[in-house]
Structure formats: structure tokens, C-alpha cells
Structure 1
Amino acid sequence: MSRRKRLVVKVGSSLLANSDLLTPRFGFMQRLLEDIARLRADGYDVILCSSGAVALGMNLVGEKPETAGLSDKQAAAACGMPLLLNAYKQVAHEYGFEIAQILLTLGDFEDHRRFLNTKNTVHRLLESGIMPIVNENDTITTEEIKVGDNDRLAAKIAQMVEAKDFIILTGVDGLYDRNPSEEGAQLVEELQDVSEYLEATTGTSTLGTGGMLTKLQAANMAQNAGCTTYIANGEADRPLSSVLRKERACTKCIAHKEPASGWSNWLSDRLQMAGSLVLKDEAAARLDDGVAIKRDDIVSMDGDFTRGDVLHIYDGEGIERARGLTDFTSEETRILVNNLDIPAETLLGYKSRAEIIRPNNIVVLETRHLLWDAPSGVSAD
């Protein structure tokens, strides 16, 4: 394994694209890649997660960010991606290193085989001294299959490569204890529990899809993998190294001292909810004992999922207790749950224990995880 330190950097659209002209901000890109070159020389492997393609393509399709629909944004992404990558390539060559592009969709993170394939590609590029530039494939994604924001996408990359540090560059100095426009707002310089500040995170930029909420969600995902997150203003001469060397104000989200395994992180830190189960109280109480979730444990369910999807597990009070990899489709699960008096073999056509989720495929959530609200109106019918 490489002894080089791993750093994941996420850059938002507002830093990369001029908000009025919707053209590349070459001055910022020069400062960013110059600093990356400096860090590479100091022993860092850097993975850049970059927004900006949609914003840079808006002029070419004759649209504005505030009025563009999904198809407009898809077309803008197709036009803007070559502009963005060409700009990065030109600047990177000035500082003597190569770049590569990796475009991902939700399935590349939620399907474990595709997740591992992506991981192998990233590692191979790093072995060759090439900086991967990762982005969601906005040209083909729809609302149903979108990651939705590059903050959490970047956090999944940080988990994937076992990064030590994760820097989110944005247009403000970091997280504030309330809306920064309010009088008396104070910068939160360090925190361990991001849930304490979720109520202070409303609002997004006109060019991007993520606000401070998604940045805290991303920080939580990175924390679980033992990665420290910094939320910092990108408008600095050395936007990355000045953060790592504690030379300017930012928000530091401290990594957990005992990170979970890669498998547990993949199971527990989701980007979208494929489906959910509500368990009987006694079954929910047994989750800590490492037992399977069986069909007679289930009160209700929600979602159309396939075998191998990760389901969110709730107790009767609607509190999320665990996440787990299902052995059955939603259709098979409904049949099993609604016909408890009929043997599973008769219902399915093959021999089965009717364990919806096996014990080794369940992760019981701890206080360090951000919980998801249960879907309303769940039913097994």
C-alpha cells in the first residue's frame, strides 16, 4: 500500500464558474492546481471532486441556472464538461502533472461490485501519478438515479480511498452557528457531532445543488471512515495547504478515533434510500444480538428494491435502527410477509430460510450516524 497521504478535495460550481458570465474562473483554478502541485510534491495523493460542468455549459444551450430544467442541465453538462476538463488539463500541465476524468452515477456507489470497480480505477490512476477528477455524470442522470450533490459524492470517494483528510472548498469560511447574515453569527471552528448544527444549514447557491446541510452530511460520512473534514473558503492564495497547516479560519470536523470497516461504511452511509422495513419492537430490540431479520419480524415495508439493495430498518416508533443488504426483491418480500402461514419454499419455488437480511449483512447504527426519517405511509400490502 502507498505510504503517501490521501487527500480528497471538493470544489463547488460557484468557485469554478463566474456567476454572471458563466465562464471558467482561471485565476481560481491556477491557485488551486498550483497548491495541489505543492501538496503532491509534499507526499499527498490528491483526488479532486469538481462541480462546474453544468454551469459552464449553460451559455451554449441558451439557458440560465435559475430557470433551467432537467433536460437543460443534462445538455449543459454535456457541453460544459469538455470546457471544464480542458481548463483543468491546461493548468495542470503548467504544474507538471496529468489528470483523468471519472464520471459516476448513483449506482456506482450503491452497487458494491461497481463501487469496487471504481475504487480499483482510482487506485490505478494514483499509482501512475495521475490526479483523478471525479464528478457525477450529469449528462445521463435523472432525479431517480442522481447522487444529488457533489459533497456526499466526494465523501464516498474519501471513504473509498481511505483518505486522511477531506477539504470542502466553498464561498464562506465554514459552518456558522446560525445563518451567517444574522447579527452575532459565530464561526464553528471545530466539532465532532455534526447533528448539533443541522438546523443552521438551510440555503444553497444559485449555481450549485448543495448547501451547508449536504456538507455536514458529507463530513459525517467521512468521520465514520476516520477522515477529518475541513469546510473552508476557497478564495485564498493557497486554498488547501493553508487549511492543512492551520493558517486560516475554517470548520474542522474531527474524524472518529475508531473508524468502521470499509464494508460497514458502504452499508451504513447511503446516498439514497432504496427501501425500508419497519420491525416489530421485539425484533428491533434483537438487532444488537446479531440475528437475522425474518419475514415474521416485519410490520410494514416501503420501496421497490432488488436483491442486493441496502434497506433502512426502523422500529415501531419510526426510529432508524440499522441498515442491511436484502436477499430478496420487494415483490418477493411482500409475498413472504403477507403469507406467513404458507412455507417460503411454496411461495418462492425454491428452498429458503426466508431471512430477509442475514446477520452479517446488517449494520446497527450508532449515535455517530445521521439517521434518516422513515417514509410515510409504509405498508407491506
Structure 2
Amino acid sequence: MKIGSSLLANPDLLTPRWAFIQRLLEDITKLRNDGYEVVLCSSGAVALGLNMLGEKPETAGLRDKQAAAACGMPLLLNAYKQVAHEFGFDIAQVLVTLQDMEERKRFLNTKNTVHRLLQGDILPIVNENDSITTEEIRVGDNDRLAAKVAQMIQADHLVILTCIDGLYDRNPEEEGAQLVEEVSDVSEYIAVTDGTSSLGSGGMLTKMQAANMAQNAGCTTLIANGEHEEPVSSVLYGQRKHTKCIAHTKPASAWAAWLTDRLQVAGSLVIRDDVAKKLSKEIDHIRHEDIKSIQGPYVKGDVIHVYDEHGEEIARGMTNFSSEETMVLARHPEMPPKDLLGYQTGGTVISRENLIILEDRHLLWDSPKEETFVEVSDT
């Protein structure tokens, strides 16, 4: 479950909302007694820390927020620990960065930690390590982070608690706005998801993106207002209104879900249209001679986005070379790769087993700006 900052911190005083935390952990106790394993992805550290620094959310800069996260995290964890102790269970903090979610080895290490905590009947509380992240290397919102955790542990449900009842078919402040109770295709509602809360970094857009990531992994997402006596169980058991984003009946494998649902673009390739058309019919390697242009920098092992010559994203895959090596190979297709790179290798940039062709159920990423690509034919 993911809890937004507006639920955890008083927007005026920037202090913990103890009554809500009490209700939340009492409800988590109920779910644990009902046999559920629970992982909590919690916002709130930055909002609570701003008060100690004498800053306001609307004026705080990046350095202020980094320092506020360092100040606020002990406050947040202390609040959780005190209340959890009342209900007879322990908590643990799992701080992660973008790289922990995007790099395969670190992703699996984090997964092992979370599973070990669950085996010990301890509630893992996951948050991004905002004290050390910058705008360029951060997830930026706990909605998508929670979806990655849901993928990681192969959760059945992702519950996102926020300050409204769920997804509306237009701005909920507009007259006649209707709650969307069930969603199968998230892309239909992306256009109506602008706006964020004053304390949080995510809005309904990131919640829909998170729901899509969860759907692909076979996880149903429930979005609801957190202001309720039983904030989670009442949604999970269908006792109050919310938005339900239905999991796909044929979910992707854990490997495919990790490969396709990215939090940030590492780099991109543009491949020839004839190769793109071939890939749409039969998955194959992407070789150095298939490439028209490259957008980086990226390193070996990064997951990169693959576009056709018209800027349409068609695939994502793990690269066997850095962007510099790829450029050297692509500019000299007539020469043996060993002679170009100085070590024994083929010319396969992305192997077929590490390549996923995107389907309609995936949210596509817009092609990066044209000027950021380097043409293979350039000298």
C-alpha cells in the first residue's frame, strides 16, 4: 500500500497526523490477522522535515527537500514505530534509490531484503532516499515506486490512498465529474490526470502510471480516499467507493515486467523501419547495422528504449554495449566488432532474450527530443 504525504502530515503545521497513523496501523493489524502480507510505501518525510528547517512546501528548493528528508525520516519512522508497538508488531525501514529499482542486481537484492522481513513478520516501510537523490537520479513519486515494489514481491493488490475518492472522468472540481469505478485500459484516462497535491510530488497521472505497471504484473490497483476509519481494508473488501484498475488476465513474467516498466529512460535507439516492421512480426536480435541514431549516455546492462524512424516506441531491451561502443559499431558495420572494440564479441546490441516488444497494454514513452540523438552517419 502507498500512503500520500497529505494523509500523513498536517498541511498547515507540517506535523504527523497521529490519529491517521493510528487508524492506518490498526487496519494493517487487521489485515495481517486476516492472513495478508503487507508492505507499506510511505511518503511524508520531506513534509515533516520542512517544519524543522522553517521552510514551506511551495518555496522549498532541492537542497531544502534533501535536508528535510533527513530531518523528517526519523520523525516519520518514530511515529510508525510507536504506534506499531501498541499493536504488537515491528517495523523496518527500506530506503531505496532509482538505481535500486532499475539495475537488475540491486533490484533483486532489495527484493530479498523485503521478503526476509516479511518472513520475520515485520512490516517493511519503503521510501525513496530523498536525502541523496537529485532531480536527474530520482524516482520522484512514491506511486510508481510502490508499483515497482508490488511487481518485485508479486503482490495481489496495490492500494493507493490519497485525498480524493479515486479517478474521475474529468477534474473532480468540475460540475458533473463522475468517479470511474473500474479501469481496464489506463491509457484512456491519461489526459484527465493533471494536478498534484500541495505536499505530494505525485498526482493522478503517476497513480495511473503506477496502476499500469501493476496491471502488467498481474496486480490489481485500488485507489481511494484515505480519510476513513478502516482506510485500507474497507477498500480491499469493497465496502466503500474507490477506483479499481483490473490486473491483466495474462500478466507478464517477473523478468518481462521489470524490463518493460521503467521509472526513467537510460537511453534510446532509433532503428531502421524495415527492422522495426520485422520485429513486429517476429522477435529477433537488434544488431549494430540496424541502428540509425543513438541517444545516451548509457552503459552496458542498461534497459534502453527502441523507436522506429517515425518516433514510435516499439520495444525495450537490455543493451550489451555502452552508448559509445554502440556508436563505434554502428558507424563501421563493415568491420569485425572485435577489431573495433578490442575484445571478442558479436555485433548484437540487444539479444532477443533481453528484448520485449511493446503491446497495447504498455504506456509508451514519447521519443526524446530529436537534437538529443546522434546520427550514426555523422562524423
Q: TM-score, normalised by structure 1?
A: 0.97
Alignment correspondent of 2:216:
224
- Identify the match of residue 370 of structure 1 among 360, 363, 376: 363
- Identify the match of residue 30 of structure 1 among 22, 25, 35: 22
How far off is 1:339 after superposition?
Answer: 2.0
Alignment correspondent of 1:91:
83
* Residue type of the alignment partner of 1:373: D
Matches within 5 A, 1:72-221: 72-221=64-213
Q: Match of 1:141, SS?
A: coil
Q: Match of 1:46, SS?
A: coil
How far off is 1:351 after superposition?
Answer: 2.1
- % identical aligned pairs: 66
Q: Match of 1:278, SS?
A: strand
Q: Which runs of 5+ in 1 are unaligned?
A: 1-8
Alignment correspondent of 2:374:
379
Q: Structure 2 CA distance, aligned partners of 1:341 and 1:143? A: 41
Q: Structure 1 CA distance, aligned partners of 2:12 and 2:167? A: 26
- Identify the match of residue 257 of structure 1 among 249, 254, 260: 249
How far off is 1:341 after superposition?
Answer: 2.9
Q: Match of 1:58, SS?
A: helix
Q: Structure 1 CA distance, aligned partners of 2:219 and 2:236? A: 13
Task: Deviation per CA, 1:171-229: give whole Å up to 9, x if none.
Answer: 00000000001111000000100100001000001111100000000000000010000
Q: Structure 2 CA distance, aligned partners of 1:191 and 1:144? A: 32
How far off is 1:345 after superposition?
Answer: 1.4
Q: Structure 1 CA distance, aligned partners of 2:198 and 2:232? A: 24
Q: Match of 2:131, SS?
A: coil
How far off is 1:344 after superposition?
Answer: 1.4
Q: Match of 1:74, SS?
A: helix
Matches within 5 A, 1:184-333: 184-287=176-279, 288-333=281-326
Alignment correspondent of 2:58:
66
Q: Match of 2:37, SS?
A: strand
Q: Which runs of 5+ in 2 are unaligned?
A: none
**Alignment length (residue pairs):** 373
How far off is 1:67 after superposition?
Answer: 0.7
How far off is 1:340 after superposition?
Answer: 2.1
User: Are 1:338 and 2:331 an aligned pair?
Assistant: yes
User: RMSD over aligned Cα, in angstroms?
Assistant: 0.8
Farther off after superposition, 334-343 or 210-219:
334-343
Q: Structure 2 CA distance, aligned partners of 1:244 and 1:347? A: 57
Q: Structure 2 CA distance, aligned partners of 1:341 and 1:146? A: 40
Q: Structure 1 CA distance, aligned partners of 2:345 and 2:275? A: 20
How far off is 1:97 after superposition?
Answer: 0.7
How far off is 1:343 after superposition?
Answer: 2.2
User: Are 1:347 and 2:340 an aligned pair?
Assistant: yes
Q: Structure 1 CA distance, aligned partners of 2:237 and 2:344? A: 60
How far off is 1:143 after superposition?
Answer: 1.2
Alignment correspondent of 1:53:
45
Task: Deviation per CA, 1:227-271: give whole Å up to 9, x if none.
Answer: 000010000000111101111000000000111100000100000
Q: Structure 2 CA distance, aligned partners of 1:292 and 1:286? A: 11
How far off is 1:286 after superposition?
Answer: 2.1
Q: Match of 2:77, SS?
A: helix
Farther off after superposition, 49-58 or 346-355:
346-355
Q: Structure 2 CA distance, aligned partners of 1:352 and 1:236? A: 59
How far off is 1:144 after superposition?
Answer: 1.5
Task: Deviation per CA, 1:113-132: give whole Å up to 9, x if none.
Answer: 00000000000000000000
Q: Match of 1:28, SS?
A: helix
Alignment correspondent of 2:6:
14
Alignment correspondent of 1:6:
none
Q: Match of 2:244, SS?
A: strand
Q: Structure 2 CA distance, aligned partners of 1:319 and 1:20? A: 45
How far off is 1:333 after superposition?
Answer: 0.7
